[in-house]
Amino acid sequence: MDTESRLKHLQEKLQAIGQSHLLSFYDELDDKRRQRLLEQIEALDFRHIPEWVQHYVKDYTAVALPTSFEPAPSYPARPRDEQQREKYAQATRLGESLVRQGKVAGFVVAGGQGTRLGFDGPKGNFPISPIKNKTLFQIFAESLLAASKKYNTTIPWYIMTSPLNHQATLEILESAGYYGLNKKDVFLFQQGTMPNFDFEGKILLADKDTIAASPDGHGGSLKALYKSGAIADMRRRGVEYLSYWQVDNSLVRIVDPLFIGLHVLDRSEMSSKALLKADPLEKVGNFCLVDGKVTVIEYSDLPEEQALRRKADGSLVFELGSIGLHMIDAAFIERLNRGGDFALPLHRAIKKIPHIDAAGNPVNPTEPNGIKLETFVFDALPLAEQSIILETIRSEEFAPVKNATGPDSPEVTRRMMIERAAHWLEQAGVAVPRKADGTPDCVLEIAPSFALCADDIKEKADRVPAIQPGQVLYLE
Protein backbone atom coordinates (compact mmCIF):
# COMPACT_ATOMS: atom_id res chain seq x y z
CA MET A 1 0.00 0.00 0.00
CA ASP A 2 1.42 3.45 -0.87
CA THR A 3 1.62 6.10 1.82
CA GLU A 4 -1.45 7.98 0.55
CA SER A 5 -3.72 4.95 0.74
CA ARG A 6 -2.17 3.91 4.03
CA LEU A 7 -2.94 7.33 5.46
CA LYS A 8 -6.48 7.29 4.17
CA HIS A 9 -7.08 3.83 5.55
CA LEU A 10 -5.79 4.85 8.98
CA GLN A 11 -7.79 8.10 8.96
CA GLU A 12 -10.94 6.05 8.56
CA LYS A 13 -9.98 3.57 11.23
CA LEU A 14 -9.07 6.32 13.69
CA GLN A 15 -12.27 8.19 13.00
CA ALA A 16 -14.26 5.06 13.75
CA ILE A 17 -12.75 4.87 17.24
CA GLY A 18 -12.79 8.61 17.96
CA GLN A 19 -9.01 9.09 17.83
CA SER A 20 -8.57 11.17 14.65
CA HIS A 21 -6.55 13.79 16.54
CA LEU A 22 -3.52 11.50 16.39
CA LEU A 23 -2.97 12.69 12.83
CA SER A 24 -3.44 16.42 13.63
CA PHE A 25 0.21 17.26 13.01
CA TYR A 26 0.78 14.84 10.16
CA ASP A 27 1.02 17.54 7.50
CA GLU A 28 3.77 19.34 9.43
CA LEU A 29 6.04 16.31 9.58
CA ASP A 30 8.83 15.29 7.24
CA ASP A 31 8.68 11.92 5.55
CA LYS A 32 10.64 10.02 8.15
CA ARG A 33 8.52 11.30 11.00
CA ARG A 34 5.33 10.58 9.07
CA GLN A 35 6.38 6.96 8.66
CA ARG A 36 7.21 6.77 12.34
CA LEU A 37 3.77 8.00 13.32
CA LEU A 38 1.94 5.76 10.87
CA GLU A 39 3.78 2.72 12.16
CA GLN A 40 2.73 3.50 15.73
CA ILE A 41 -0.87 4.02 14.70
CA GLU A 42 -0.87 0.75 12.78
CA ALA A 43 0.36 -1.02 15.90
CA LEU A 44 -2.60 0.21 17.99
CA ASP A 45 -5.10 -2.37 19.12
CA PHE A 46 -8.08 -0.90 17.22
CA ARG A 47 -10.31 -3.77 18.23
CA HIS A 48 -9.97 -3.13 21.95
CA ILE A 49 -9.41 0.62 22.30
CA PRO A 50 -13.13 1.58 22.34
CA GLU A 51 -13.74 -0.98 25.07
CA TRP A 52 -10.78 0.27 27.13
CA VAL A 53 -12.00 3.86 26.83
CA GLN A 54 -15.46 2.80 27.92
CA HIS A 55 -14.44 0.58 30.83
CA TYR A 56 -11.30 2.18 32.18
CA VAL A 57 -11.75 5.86 31.37
CA LYS A 58 -15.41 6.83 30.99
CA ASP A 59 -17.40 4.34 33.05
CA TYR A 60 -14.79 3.04 35.39
CA THR A 61 -15.90 0.96 38.31
CA ALA A 62 -13.34 -0.79 40.43
CA VAL A 63 -13.30 -4.57 40.04
CA ALA A 64 -15.72 -6.07 42.55
CA LEU A 65 -14.19 -8.09 45.33
CA PRO A 66 -15.06 -11.79 44.92
CA THR A 67 -18.11 -12.64 47.05
CA SER A 68 -16.20 -15.30 48.85
CA PHE A 69 -12.50 -15.72 49.38
CA GLU A 70 -10.26 -17.29 51.98
CA PRO A 71 -6.56 -17.37 52.76
CA ALA A 72 -4.51 -19.50 50.35
CA PRO A 73 -2.68 -22.54 51.76
CA SER A 74 1.10 -22.47 51.70
CA TYR A 75 4.22 -24.40 52.50
CA PRO A 76 6.01 -22.92 55.52
CA ALA A 77 9.57 -21.64 55.16
CA ARG A 78 10.74 -24.46 57.43
CA PRO A 79 9.06 -27.89 57.43
CA ARG A 80 6.60 -28.33 60.28
CA ASP A 81 6.84 -32.07 60.85
CA GLU A 82 8.73 -35.16 59.82
CA GLN A 83 6.55 -35.86 56.81
CA GLN A 84 7.07 -32.34 55.52
CA ARG A 85 10.79 -32.58 56.24
CA GLU A 86 10.94 -35.62 53.99
CA LYS A 87 8.99 -33.88 51.26
CA TYR A 88 11.28 -30.83 51.42
CA ALA A 89 14.34 -33.07 51.18
CA GLN A 90 12.85 -34.91 48.21
CA ALA A 91 11.89 -31.60 46.54
CA THR A 92 15.38 -30.18 47.08
CA ARG A 93 16.99 -33.24 45.49
CA LEU A 94 14.59 -33.03 42.56
CA GLY A 95 15.18 -29.27 42.14
CA GLU A 96 18.95 -29.76 42.14
CA SER A 97 18.69 -32.52 39.59
CA LEU A 98 16.48 -30.41 37.28
CA VAL A 99 18.95 -27.51 37.48
CA ARG A 100 21.82 -29.89 36.72
CA GLN A 101 19.93 -31.17 33.68
CA GLY A 102 19.63 -27.61 32.35
CA LYS A 103 15.86 -27.49 32.72
CA VAL A 104 15.74 -24.21 34.67
CA ALA A 105 16.35 -20.67 33.40
CA GLY A 106 16.34 -17.28 35.08
CA PHE A 107 13.84 -14.65 34.00
CA VAL A 108 13.93 -11.06 35.19
CA VAL A 109 11.31 -8.47 34.30
CA ALA A 110 13.11 -5.19 33.78
CA GLY A 111 10.76 -3.21 31.58
CA GLY A 112 9.40 -0.92 34.29
CA GLN A 113 9.94 2.83 34.32
CA GLY A 114 11.29 3.02 37.87
CA THR A 115 9.73 6.45 38.36
CA ARG A 116 9.75 6.26 42.16
CA LEU A 117 13.50 5.67 42.34
CA GLY A 118 14.11 8.47 39.86
CA PHE A 119 17.35 6.90 38.59
CA ASP A 120 18.55 7.87 35.16
CA GLY A 121 18.61 4.69 33.08
CA PRO A 122 17.41 1.11 33.50
CA LYS A 123 16.95 0.18 37.16
CA GLY A 124 19.09 -2.92 36.70
CA ASN A 125 22.06 -0.58 36.32
CA PHE A 126 21.56 0.89 39.78
CA PRO A 127 24.69 0.35 41.92
CA ILE A 128 23.63 -1.33 45.13
CA SER A 129 26.13 -3.72 46.72
CA PRO A 130 27.55 -2.32 49.97
CA ILE A 131 31.29 -2.47 49.19
CA LYS A 132 31.89 -3.06 45.49
CA ASN A 133 28.89 -1.02 44.37
CA LYS A 134 27.86 -3.79 42.00
CA THR A 135 24.74 -3.06 40.02
CA LEU A 136 21.61 -5.19 40.27
CA PHE A 137 22.32 -6.65 36.83
CA GLN A 138 25.86 -7.57 37.90
CA ILE A 139 24.63 -9.31 41.04
CA PHE A 140 22.09 -11.32 39.02
CA ALA A 141 24.64 -12.25 36.36
CA GLU A 142 27.21 -13.32 38.93
CA SER A 143 24.55 -15.38 40.71
CA LEU A 144 23.65 -17.16 37.49
CA LEU A 145 27.30 -17.76 36.74
CA ALA A 146 27.95 -19.13 40.23
CA ALA A 147 24.85 -21.36 40.13
CA SER A 148 25.83 -22.68 36.69
CA LYS A 149 29.22 -23.58 38.10
CA LYS A 150 27.79 -25.10 41.27
CA TYR A 151 25.45 -27.37 39.31
CA ASN A 152 27.82 -27.92 36.40
CA THR A 153 25.34 -26.64 33.85
CA THR A 154 24.34 -23.55 31.92
CA ILE A 155 21.49 -21.48 33.28
CA PRO A 156 20.25 -19.18 30.53
CA TRP A 157 19.03 -15.72 31.41
CA TYR A 158 15.93 -14.15 29.87
CA ILE A 159 15.56 -10.41 30.37
CA MET A 160 12.40 -8.50 29.55
CA THR A 161 12.89 -4.85 28.69
CA SER A 162 10.47 -2.33 27.22
CA PRO A 163 10.78 -0.12 24.16
CA LEU A 164 11.65 2.67 26.60
CA ASN A 165 14.78 1.03 27.98
CA HIS A 166 15.70 -1.80 25.61
CA GLN A 167 18.57 -0.09 23.81
CA ALA A 168 20.03 1.29 27.04
CA THR A 169 19.85 -2.15 28.68
CA LEU A 170 21.51 -3.79 25.70
CA GLU A 171 24.32 -1.23 25.76
CA ILE A 172 24.89 -1.75 29.48
CA LEU A 173 25.16 -5.51 29.10
CA GLU A 174 27.37 -5.23 26.02
CA SER A 175 29.76 -2.80 27.62
CA ALA A 176 29.98 -4.96 30.74
CA GLY A 177 30.77 -8.01 28.60
CA TYR A 178 27.65 -9.62 30.05
CA TYR A 179 29.47 -9.72 33.40
CA GLY A 180 31.27 -12.89 32.40
CA LEU A 181 28.21 -14.74 31.11
CA ASN A 182 28.24 -16.16 27.63
CA LYS A 183 26.35 -13.67 25.45
CA LYS A 184 24.54 -16.49 23.69
CA ASP A 185 22.99 -17.53 27.00
CA VAL A 186 21.40 -14.12 27.57
CA PHE A 187 18.16 -13.48 25.71
CA LEU A 188 16.78 -9.93 25.72
CA PHE A 189 13.31 -9.20 24.48
CA GLN A 190 10.83 -6.35 24.66
CA GLN A 191 7.40 -6.25 26.19
CA GLY A 192 4.45 -4.52 24.58
CA THR A 193 3.12 -1.04 25.32
CA MET A 194 -0.28 0.48 25.93
CA PRO A 195 -1.34 3.94 24.77
CA ASN A 196 -1.95 6.55 27.48
CA PHE A 197 -5.34 8.26 27.63
CA ASP A 198 -6.52 11.62 28.89
CA PHE A 199 -9.60 11.74 31.10
CA GLU A 200 -11.86 12.07 28.03
CA GLY A 201 -10.51 8.86 26.55
CA LYS A 202 -8.35 10.49 23.90
CA ILE A 203 -4.95 8.93 23.32
CA LEU A 204 -2.24 11.43 24.26
CA LEU A 205 0.56 12.42 21.92
CA ALA A 206 4.02 12.62 23.46
CA ASP A 207 5.21 14.50 20.38
CA LYS A 208 3.86 15.32 16.95
CA ASP A 209 5.10 11.96 15.66
CA THR A 210 4.91 9.93 18.87
CA ILE A 211 2.01 8.37 20.71
CA ALA A 212 2.31 8.57 24.51
CA ALA A 213 2.62 4.97 25.62
CA SER A 214 3.90 3.00 28.57
CA PRO A 215 4.97 -0.62 29.08
CA ASP A 216 2.02 -2.99 29.49
CA GLY A 217 2.98 -4.12 33.00
CA HIS A 218 4.88 -7.17 34.24
CA GLY A 219 1.88 -9.24 33.16
CA GLY A 220 2.93 -8.38 29.61
CA SER A 221 5.79 -10.82 30.12
CA LEU A 222 3.55 -13.84 29.60
CA LYS A 223 2.72 -12.67 26.11
CA ALA A 224 6.11 -11.23 25.28
CA LEU A 225 7.96 -14.42 26.26
CA TYR A 226 5.93 -16.23 23.65
CA LYS A 227 5.84 -13.60 20.91
CA SER A 228 9.55 -12.80 21.14
CA GLY A 229 10.63 -16.39 20.59
CA ALA A 230 12.01 -16.70 24.13
CA ILE A 231 9.85 -19.75 24.78
CA ALA A 232 10.96 -21.31 21.52
CA ASP A 233 14.55 -20.62 22.57
CA MET A 234 13.87 -22.35 25.90
CA ARG A 235 12.45 -25.34 24.08
CA ARG A 236 15.54 -25.59 21.86
CA ARG A 237 17.68 -25.66 24.98
CA GLY A 238 15.50 -28.12 26.84
CA VAL A 239 14.50 -25.53 29.48
CA GLU A 240 11.12 -26.26 31.07
CA TYR A 241 10.93 -23.96 34.07
CA LEU A 242 11.45 -20.25 34.54
CA SER A 243 12.52 -18.70 37.79
CA TYR A 244 10.84 -15.27 37.64
CA TRP A 245 11.94 -12.23 39.63
CA GLN A 246 11.74 -8.46 39.50
CA VAL A 247 14.73 -6.31 38.70
CA ASP A 248 14.64 -4.35 41.95
CA ASN A 249 15.07 -7.32 44.31
CA SER A 250 18.71 -7.31 45.35
CA LEU A 251 18.37 -10.36 47.64
CA VAL A 252 16.70 -12.68 45.14
CA ARG A 253 17.73 -16.32 45.28
CA ILE A 254 17.38 -17.11 41.59
CA VAL A 255 18.05 -20.83 41.85
CA ASP A 256 16.24 -22.32 44.82
CA PRO A 257 16.14 -26.13 44.50
CA LEU A 258 13.44 -26.46 47.19
CA PHE A 259 11.08 -24.06 45.40
CA ILE A 260 11.77 -25.62 42.01
CA GLY A 261 11.28 -29.11 43.41
CA LEU A 262 8.01 -28.35 45.21
CA HIS A 263 6.68 -26.64 42.08
CA VAL A 264 7.42 -29.71 39.97
CA LEU A 265 6.48 -32.37 42.55
CA ASP A 266 3.05 -30.77 43.00
CA ARG A 267 2.60 -30.36 39.23
CA SER A 268 2.09 -26.65 39.68
CA GLU A 269 2.01 -24.57 36.49
CA MET A 270 2.83 -21.32 38.23
CA SER A 271 4.04 -21.06 41.83
CA SER A 272 4.79 -18.17 44.14
CA LYS A 273 6.98 -17.30 47.05
CA ALA A 274 5.25 -15.36 49.79
CA LEU A 275 6.24 -13.32 52.81
CA LEU A 276 4.50 -13.12 56.12
CA LYS A 277 3.31 -9.53 56.05
CA ALA A 278 5.18 -7.18 58.37
CA ASP A 279 1.94 -5.42 59.27
CA PRO A 280 -1.68 -6.08 58.33
CA LEU A 281 -1.82 -3.14 55.91
CA GLU A 282 1.56 -3.68 54.27
CA LYS A 283 1.37 -2.66 50.63
CA VAL A 284 1.74 -6.09 49.08
CA GLY A 285 -0.86 -8.23 47.34
CA ASN A 286 -2.62 -10.84 49.49
CA PHE A 287 -2.59 -14.51 48.53
CA CYS A 288 -6.18 -15.77 48.68
CA LEU A 289 -8.24 -18.68 47.37
CA VAL A 290 -11.17 -17.77 45.15
CA ASP A 291 -13.25 -20.67 43.82
CA GLY A 292 -10.40 -22.94 44.79
CA LYS A 293 -7.86 -20.97 42.76
CA VAL A 294 -4.87 -19.07 44.11
CA THR A 295 -5.61 -15.40 43.49
CA VAL A 296 -3.80 -12.25 44.56
CA ILE A 297 -6.07 -9.58 45.98
CA GLU A 298 -4.31 -6.24 45.97
CA TYR A 299 -3.79 -4.44 49.27
CA SER A 300 -5.91 -1.57 48.00
CA ASP A 301 -8.81 -3.97 47.30
CA LEU A 302 -8.76 -5.97 50.52
CA PRO A 303 -11.19 -4.32 52.97
CA GLU A 304 -9.44 -3.14 56.10
CA GLU A 305 -11.58 -5.29 58.40
CA GLN A 306 -10.43 -8.36 56.46
CA ALA A 307 -6.80 -7.26 56.48
CA LEU A 308 -6.93 -6.80 60.26
CA ARG A 309 -8.55 -10.18 61.04
CA ARG A 310 -6.50 -12.44 63.28
CA LYS A 311 -6.50 -16.15 64.10
CA ALA A 312 -6.73 -17.51 67.64
CA ASP A 313 -2.91 -17.59 67.88
CA GLY A 314 -2.73 -13.88 67.04
CA SER A 315 -1.37 -14.29 63.52
CA LEU A 316 -3.12 -12.61 60.60
CA VAL A 317 -5.80 -14.50 58.70
CA PHE A 318 -4.52 -12.99 55.45
CA GLU A 319 -0.86 -13.17 56.31
CA LEU A 320 0.79 -14.02 52.99
CA GLY A 321 2.09 -11.18 50.84
CA SER A 322 3.08 -11.46 47.19
CA ILE A 323 6.65 -10.38 46.36
CA GLY A 324 7.05 -11.04 42.66
CA LEU A 325 8.89 -14.37 42.89
CA HIS A 326 7.49 -17.21 40.83
CA MET A 327 8.28 -20.50 39.13
CA ILE A 328 6.53 -20.69 35.78
CA ASP A 329 6.28 -23.64 33.38
CA ALA A 330 7.17 -22.93 29.77
CA ALA A 331 4.26 -25.22 28.87
CA PHE A 332 1.87 -23.00 30.86
CA ILE A 333 2.94 -19.93 28.91
CA GLU A 334 2.49 -21.87 25.67
CA ARG A 335 -0.94 -23.03 26.75
CA LEU A 336 -2.05 -19.47 27.57
CA ASN A 337 -0.85 -18.09 24.26
CA ARG A 338 -1.91 -20.89 21.97
CA GLY A 339 -5.40 -19.52 21.33
CA GLY A 340 -3.91 -16.21 20.21
CA ASP A 341 -6.16 -13.84 22.13
CA PHE A 342 -4.99 -14.44 25.67
CA ALA A 343 -5.23 -11.32 27.82
CA LEU A 344 -4.87 -10.66 31.52
CA PRO A 345 -7.24 -8.20 33.20
CA LEU A 346 -6.22 -4.56 32.89
CA HIS A 347 -5.54 -2.33 35.86
CA ARG A 348 -5.65 1.41 35.56
CA ALA A 349 -3.38 3.97 37.16
CA ILE A 350 -3.98 7.71 37.20
CA LYS A 351 -0.66 9.40 36.44
CA LYS A 352 1.09 12.58 35.40
CA ILE A 353 1.72 12.04 31.71
CA PRO A 354 3.86 14.51 29.75
CA HIS A 355 2.33 15.22 26.34
CA ILE A 356 1.70 17.90 23.73
CA ASP A 357 -1.52 19.90 23.65
CA ALA A 358 -3.80 20.58 20.68
CA ALA A 359 -1.53 23.42 19.59
CA GLY A 360 1.50 21.15 19.71
CA ASN A 361 3.01 22.75 22.83
CA PRO A 362 4.67 20.46 25.38
CA VAL A 363 2.83 20.03 28.68
CA ASN A 364 4.56 18.75 31.79
CA PRO A 365 1.69 18.23 34.19
CA THR A 366 2.11 18.85 37.90
CA GLU A 367 -1.14 17.05 38.65
CA PRO A 368 -2.31 13.67 37.32
CA ASN A 369 -3.80 14.20 33.88
CA GLY A 370 -4.30 10.78 32.39
CA ILE A 371 -4.61 7.06 32.60
CA LYS A 372 -2.11 4.27 32.09
CA LEU A 373 -3.25 0.68 31.70
CA GLU A 374 -1.21 -2.36 32.67
CA THR A 375 -1.46 -6.04 33.51
CA PHE A 376 0.00 -7.87 36.50
CA VAL A 377 1.76 -11.22 36.27
CA PHE A 378 0.04 -12.59 39.38
CA ASP A 379 -3.30 -12.36 37.60
CA ALA A 380 -2.19 -15.47 35.71
CA LEU A 381 -2.17 -17.54 38.93
CA PRO A 382 -5.88 -18.43 38.82
CA LEU A 383 -5.40 -19.60 35.24
CA ALA A 384 -3.00 -22.31 36.39
CA GLU A 385 -4.41 -25.79 36.87
CA GLN A 386 -2.33 -26.05 39.99
CA SER A 387 -0.52 -23.34 41.93
CA ILE A 388 1.50 -23.65 45.12
CA ILE A 389 2.92 -21.08 47.52
CA LEU A 390 6.13 -21.35 49.51
CA GLU A 391 6.67 -18.95 52.38
CA THR A 392 10.06 -17.35 52.56
CA ILE A 393 11.91 -15.17 55.02
CA ARG A 394 12.11 -11.47 54.20
CA SER A 395 15.69 -10.95 55.38
CA GLU A 396 16.80 -13.83 53.16
CA GLU A 397 15.12 -13.04 49.88
CA PHE A 398 13.38 -9.71 49.57
CA ALA A 399 14.88 -6.24 49.53
CA PRO A 400 13.40 -4.25 46.66
CA VAL A 401 14.89 -0.93 45.60
CA LYS A 402 11.77 1.12 44.93
CA ASN A 403 12.17 4.59 46.43
CA ALA A 404 15.00 7.10 46.54
CA THR A 405 14.62 7.50 50.31
CA GLY A 406 12.74 5.89 53.21
CA PRO A 407 11.25 2.39 53.00
CA ASP A 408 12.53 0.20 50.17
CA SER A 409 15.33 2.66 49.46
CA PRO A 410 18.92 1.85 48.49
CA GLU A 411 20.01 2.63 52.05
CA VAL A 412 17.61 0.07 53.53
CA THR A 413 18.55 -2.47 50.86
CA ARG A 414 22.29 -2.15 51.55
CA ARG A 415 21.67 -2.61 55.25
CA MET A 416 19.68 -5.75 54.50
CA MET A 417 22.46 -7.08 52.26
CA ILE A 418 24.98 -6.60 55.08
CA GLU A 419 22.61 -8.17 57.61
CA ARG A 420 22.05 -11.23 55.44
CA ALA A 421 25.78 -11.68 54.92
CA ALA A 422 26.32 -11.43 58.69
CA HIS A 423 23.60 -13.97 59.32
CA TRP A 424 25.01 -16.44 56.78
CA LEU A 425 28.47 -16.14 58.34
CA GLU A 426 27.11 -16.64 61.84
CA GLN A 427 25.22 -19.73 60.72
CA ALA A 428 28.56 -21.11 59.54
CA GLY A 429 30.06 -20.44 62.95
CA VAL A 430 31.91 -17.19 62.08
CA ALA A 431 31.75 -14.51 64.80
CA VAL A 432 30.40 -11.19 63.48
CA PRO A 433 30.90 -8.10 65.67
CA ARG A 434 27.59 -6.41 66.44
CA LYS A 435 26.69 -3.03 67.91
CA ALA A 436 24.63 -2.56 71.04
CA ASP A 437 21.46 -2.32 68.91
CA GLY A 438 22.24 -5.72 67.36
CA THR A 439 23.20 -4.49 63.89
CA PRO A 440 26.53 -5.66 62.41
CA ASP A 441 29.49 -3.51 63.46
CA CYS A 442 31.19 -4.06 60.10
CA VAL A 443 30.47 -3.77 56.39
CA LEU A 444 30.15 -7.13 54.68
CA GLU A 445 29.63 -8.16 51.10
CA ILE A 446 29.52 -11.73 49.91
CA ALA A 447 30.05 -12.25 46.18
CA PRO A 448 27.76 -14.85 44.57
CA SER A 449 30.97 -16.66 43.59
CA PHE A 450 31.65 -17.16 47.33
CA ALA A 451 28.17 -18.21 48.41
CA LEU A 452 24.66 -18.31 47.00
CA CYS A 453 23.09 -19.34 50.29
CA ALA A 454 24.05 -19.91 53.91
CA ASP A 455 24.91 -23.56 53.32
CA ASP A 456 27.57 -22.65 50.75
CA ILE A 457 29.53 -20.87 53.50
CA LYS A 458 29.60 -23.80 55.85
CA GLU A 459 32.13 -25.58 53.63
CA LYS A 460 34.46 -22.58 53.51
CA ALA A 461 34.06 -20.98 56.91
CA ASP A 462 37.77 -21.62 57.56
CA ARG A 463 38.63 -19.25 54.67
CA VAL A 464 36.91 -16.33 56.38
CA PRO A 465 39.33 -14.17 58.40
CA ALA A 466 38.41 -13.10 61.95
CA ILE A 467 36.20 -10.03 61.60
CA GLN A 468 37.15 -6.95 63.64
CA PRO A 469 34.68 -4.27 64.75
CA GLY A 470 34.38 -1.63 62.04
CA GLN A 471 35.99 -3.86 59.40
CA VAL A 472 35.07 -3.72 55.74
CA LEU A 473 35.17 -7.26 54.36
CA TYR A 474 34.46 -8.48 50.85
CA LEU A 475 34.34 -12.22 50.31
CA GLU A 476 34.70 -13.72 46.84
Sequence-separated (6 or more) residues with CB below 8 Å from residue 178: 141, 186
Task: Examine residue 329 and tell whether it contacts ligand UTP (CB under 6 A).
Answer: no
Is 408 one of the binding residues for ligand UTP (CB under 6 A)?
no
- Cβ closest to ligand UTP, residue 248 vs residue 379: 248
- What lies within 8 Å, CB to CB, of 183 at 6+ separation is none
- Exactly one of 95, 195, 201, 215 binds ligand UTP (CB under 6 A); which one? 215
Span from 16-24, 54-62, 195-203, 210-218 in contact with ligand UTP (CB under 6 A):
210-218
Cβ–Cβ < 8 Å for 443, 418:
yes
Question: Could you say which of 112, 195, 257, 261 contacts ligand UTP (CB under 6 A)?
Answer: 112
Among 74, 228, 243, 246, binds ligand UTP (CB under 6 A): 246
Find residue 161's DSSP bridge partners: 190
Using CB under 6 A as the binding rule, whether residue 212 contacts ligand UTP is answered as: no
195 binds ligand UTP (CB under 6 A): no
110 binds ligand UTP (CB under 6 A): yes
Spatial CA neighbour of 33 closest among 222, 151, 208, 160: 208
Least distance between ligand UTP and beta carbon 275 (Å): 15
Residue whose C-alpha is closest to residue 273's, from 378, 380, 390: 390
Asked whether position 192 contacts ligand UTP by CB under 6 A, the answer is: no
Q: Which of 36, 35, 37, 5 is nearest to 24 (CA)?
A: 37
Sign, CA torsion 310/311/316/318: negative
Q: Which of residues 369-388 bind ligand UTP (CB under 6 A)?
A: 374
Candidates 21-29, 215-223, 440-448, 451-459; binding stretch for ligand UTP (CB under 6 A): 215-223
What's the Rg (C-alpha) of the chain?
A: 24
Stretch that binds ligand UTP, among 9-17, 105-113, 272-280, 352-360 (CB under 6 A): 105-113
Q: With binding defined as CB under 6 A, does residue 217 bind ligand UTP?
A: yes
User: Does residue 269 touch ligand UTP according to CB under 6 A?
Assistant: no
Question: Which is closer to ligand UTP, CB of 367 or CB of 462?
Answer: 367
φ/ψ bin of 388: left (φ > 0), alpha (ψ from -120 to 50), beta (otherwise): beta
Q: Of 475, 415, 417, which is closest to residue 446 (Cα–Cα)? A: 475
Among 10, 98, 136, 160, binds ligand UTP (CB under 6 A): 160
How deeply is 48 buried, as exposed, middle or buried, from its count of CB atoms within 10 A (0-12, 13-18, 19+)?
middle
When the beta carbons of 271 and 322 are compared against ligand UTP, the nearer one is 322
Q: Would you count residue 248 as binding ligand UTP (CB under 6 A)? A: yes
- Exactly one of 13, 36, 55, 116 binds ligand UTP (CB under 6 A); which one? 116
Of 15, 54, 90, 115, the residue at the interface with ligand UTP (CB under 6 A) is 115
Q: 28: burial class by Cβ within 10 Å (0-12, 13-18, 19+)?
A: exposed
| Min dist. Cβ of residue 296 to ligand UTP (A) | 13
Nearer to ligand UTP, 97 or 113 (CB): 113
Long-range (24+ apart) CB contacts under 8 A made by 167-175 are 168/121, 168/122, 168/125, 169/110, 169/122, 169/124, 169/125, 172/121, 172/122, 172/124, 172/125, 172/137, 173/137
Binding residue (CB under 6 A) for ligand UTP from 164, 247, 254, 418: 247
225 or 258, CB closer to ligand UTP? 225
Does residue 133 come out as left (phi exceeding 0), alpha (psi in the -120 to 50 range) or beta? left
Report the 10 Å Cβ neighbour count for 441: 17
Choose, by CB under 6 A, the member of 106, 111, 195, 201 that binds ligand UTP.
111
Q: Where are the beta strands (DSSP E) in 341-416?
A: 347-351, 355-356, 362-363, 370-374, 389-392
Note whether 325 binds ligand UTP by CB under 6 A: no
Nearest-CB residue for ligand UTP: 112
**In sequence order, what are the residues at sequence separation of 6 or more whose Cβ sits closer than 8 angstroms to the Cβ of residue 194?**
213, 214, 215, 216, 372, 373, 374
Among 19, 135, 143, 191, binds ligand UTP (CB under 6 A): 191
- Which residues are near ligand UTP by CB under 6 A? 109-116, 160, 162, 191, 215-218, 220, 246-248, 374, 402
